Amino acid sequence: MKILVDQIGPIKKEFLGGDKKSGTYNIYGENQIKLDKRANEILLAAFRKSKLIKQAGSEEEDKAIPMDSKKGHFGITIDPLDGSSLIPTNLAVGIIFSVYENGNIMSGAKNITQAFYILLGPLNLMVFADKSGVAQFIYNDRKDFDLVKENIIIPEGNLYSPGGLRNEWTAAHIQLIGNFEANGYKLRYSGSFVPDFHQVLVYGGIFSYPALIDKPKGKLRLLFEVGPMAFIAEKAGGAATDGKNRILDIVPSEIDQRVPLYIGSKKLIEGINIE
């Protein structure tokens, strides 16, 4: 963990360069932002240095990456910089991690043993989940994290954070969101998954990024975004589904697999069935 914490400073220093395009493309055909690319390079270098990682996967890479460590046995996935396009407007962004103690990131989200995100905002904080539950830490002046909350539980709140363009939503999703609006749910959406999910973790409600008319599998990646957050949500007493199936029961067939996502307060999510 310490070797990851030590990368917060170097990654934040890169923010001064803004969100310029790098001229290279990731596996999704997206022109990589220099910040994403640098954060990816910084984290992968830290993994190699640690000698603890057997296999890594990154949203910025087109395949799983062997770490060539004889004693490494962990598998780890990263979204190196979620929401990087928001940095010029000084909105919060994040980094998402999941850990597989079996060393195989393709073995299914049910094999995640730890997951956590770092939220870089007015405060730099980390939310960490393992089999014992969910805790929150605040980054301090000593460049370390102080524990501030334990045994976090997602309340049954009334926030809704809907991703995707409304004119690309399916009829079933439009009806679902309409029900939230009719029942006085409060809209909270920034365009960065980490802070939007964190609001749901704190206040309760739902984050969604649904199947779209022209993208029936949605936008978010199972390995790098959806799986880790689903693990955190369940350990915090919440739930996560693709509209029909529990997220943690899904086994990826490819590294860049995408799935629709509904995540948040347990009763709310368990009541969703998108046909």
* pLDDT digit string, tens, across residues 246-258: 999 999 999 999 9
> What's the pLDDT at 226?
98
> In sequence order, which ranges of the chain are alpha helices (DSSP H)?
2-5, 8-13, 34-50, 171-182, 193-203, 227-235, 266-270
> What's the pLDDT at 222?
97
Block residue for tokens 């103690």? 101
Residue 224 DSSP symbol: I
**Cβ neighbours around 183 below 10 Å, total:** 9
* Cβ–Cβ < 8 Å for 121, 138: no
Rounded to whole angstroms, the Cα distance separating 30 from 101 reads 31
> What's the pLDDT at 34?
78
> What's the pLDDT at 234?
98
The arithmetic mean of pLDDT across residues 46-75, rounded, is 90
The arithmetic mean of pLDDT across residues 164-190, rounded, is 96
84: closest CA among 114, 56, 136, 120?
A: 120
Rounded to whole angstroms, the Cα distance separating 241 from 248 reads 8
> What's the pLDDT at 192?
93
- Overall size of the chain counted in residues: 275
Report the C-alpha dihedral over residues 23, 24, 30, 32, rounded to 10 degrees.
-80
> What's the pLDDT at 27?
47
116: closest CA among 16, 229, 249?
A: 229
Rounded to whole angstroms, the Cα distance separating 266 from 41 reads 36
Share of the chain above pLDDT 90, in %: 74
> What's the pLDDT at 19?
54
> What's the pLDDT at 24?
47
Predicted structure pTM score: 0.92
> What's the pLDDT at 28?
46
Rounded to whole angstroms, the Cα distance separating 148 from 120 reads 16
Least confident of 59-73, 124-138, 235-249: 59-73
More confident position, 227 or 84: 227
Residue 134 pLDDT more than 50?
yes
Ordered by where they begin, the domains of the chain are: 2-149 (3.30.540.10), 159-270 (3.40.190.80)
Residue 47, φ and ψ in degrees, nearest 5: -60, -45
Rounded to whole angstroms, the Cα distance separating 255 from 27 reads 10
208: closest CA among 155, 247, 253, 254?
A: 247
> What's the pLDDT at 33?
60
> What's the pLDDT at 18?
55
Block residue for tokens 């949203």? 59
Rounded to whole angstroms, the Cα distance separating 229 from 224 reads 9
Residue 88, φ and ψ in degrees, nearest 5: -60, -25
The one-letter amino acid at 228? P
The arithmetic mean of pLDDT across residues 258-263, rounded, is 98
The arithmetic mean of pLDDT across residues 237-266, rounded, is 97
| Residue 118 confidence class, pLDDT cut points 50, 70, 90 | very high
Query: At what angle are helices 227-235 and 193-203 packed, to 10 degrees?
Result: 10
Residue 143 pLDDT more than 90?
no
> What's the pLDDT at 29?
46
> In sequence order, which ranges of 216-255 are alpha helices (DSSP H)?
227-235
The whole-chain average pLDDT of the chain stands at: 90
Identify the sign of the CA torsion 104, 107, 108, 113. Answer: negative
pLDDT (tens digit per residue) in 3-20: 777 888 888 888 776 555
> What's the pLDDT at 69?
76
Residue 68, φ and ψ in degrees, nearest 5: 55, 40
The arithmetic mean of pLDDT across residues 131-152, rounded, is 93
pLDDT (tens digit per residue) in 213-231: 999 999 999 999 999 999 9
